[in-house]
Structure 1
Amino acid sequence: MTNSYPQALTIAGSDSDGSAGMQADLHTFFARGIYGASVMTACVAGNSYGIHASVPMPTDFIDQEFADLADDYQIRASKTGMLADSALIETVVKNYQKADFGPLVVDPVIMTKHGNQLLEESAFNTLRTDLLPLATVLTPNFYEAEKIAEMSIKNDDDMVLATKKMQAMGAKNIITKGSHADTNQQEVRDYVLLESGEGFWLSEPYHETDRVNGTGDTLSACITAELAKGTPMKKAIQIAKQFVNAAIGEPIEVGHKFGPINHWAALDRQLS
């Protein structure tokens, strides 16, 4: 039957070294048994040493990407990655609202896991007011949660409060990722708040490694893939957490410095 195979969409930038962005999303879709389509919003030149150049796609080109996919494919779930400026965010919001591309997973890509801001302030405000309310799932890291909720997170109660604040802004389901700042930590704990009001913690072992490029992309892409398959929301988030932890825990030797995670580590595991 035409379009019977589950399809998911990544709306993100292309990373030339394949470790993050659109490439990490497509690796994840493949590993989770999903056909992956893409709307390219930017091109990034970089390697394991860092990012050295980037170019945003023209908004009329992005319009055409959306139109072509809507004319031919049956996208069952979508996700966003890094959107460079307000114009790109507004273009993505406009096109997503016109298309029937399923639930939307928003990886906000505002700040790095070390607290460095990636998005200019004007674009951040557009993301929070225009894109965040469309999010079926929001996946901020620790520093992004502080930025969006406009508060410091110092303990578990603060993380719960920040997550509730973000849900009040319109995002339906949220996984707030824990901090990696403690050099002696043994686990990574994330807080999940579902649309139903159920809240719970997810915990996986902490791995001391510099091969963590693309972890946020992969988490949000795995949730997207599971939703495209019809997996219930809670289970989709749990599977994504396990998938990413396996990918970090069994690194592959690619590049010289900050390498990618291993999207094939969990292929022979039963995730639940």
Structure 2
Amino acid sequence: MSAVRFLVLLLILLSPQAASRAQAMASDCLAMAQAPGFVPVQYSAPTLAADEVQLTFLGHSTFLIESAGGVKIATDYSGYAGGIVPDVATMNHAHRSHYTDFPDPAIKQVLRGWNPEGGPARHDLTVGDVRIRNVTTDIRAMGGAVPDGNSIFIFEVAGLCIGHLGHLHHELSNAQLAAIGRLDIVLVPVDGTYTMAQANMLNVLKELKARLVLPMHYFTPETLQRFINGLSGELDVEISGKASVTVSARTLPEKPKLLVLPGY
């Protein structure tokens, strides 16, 4: 995200009355869903303590998750991972902006959130100091629902449980919640249309009870603002000036927080 766009976003979040002046601004989400929308950056590996993990928002629904052991994971990988080749790429097939049929062959593990042969995708593996597993959910499609078409990927690293909800289209069942278990950090789509209504997504967050929530997959600053307005004080809100955040169990907020990271 350019500095100008981020300042506009910050202005809107701080002053809803300014929203009308940003109606004509191009969608960050739509721009980032296309290859030219991604802006390559100079990558620099983070220095992390053993109990820390770094998350970098690359735009749309792609985060780069980096462990102290040097494992690099790109979520909802569609061909771009911040200018680096990740060790692991997770993907979901609700839209082309969430997966690619041609991942870089240098990626060691490509984990699809759906099973091309039918039935649920099943992943449970350890890569370096990260355990990665998934819980499948259904997605909408022309003609009805597609069972197990999306995966919630869960990354267990540095004593934390990080969940990426992918392209979640429905609230979670008790069985799914039990399979997910505890989540300390949730990466949540808040568009309110292509996934599901914001009120329903808020219900999901209430069920998951994570202490740090990172929004993704929103189409305009106004959409993000509506989601924030719907929190009704249940979560603190912080607007970060950096695309990356380093987290450990000891630095998790005491009260659940929504942390907005600017994308590149």
TM-score computed with the length of structure 2 as normaliser:
0.38
Normalized per residue, which structure has more helix?
Answer: 1
TM-score of the pair, normalised by structure 1? 0.38
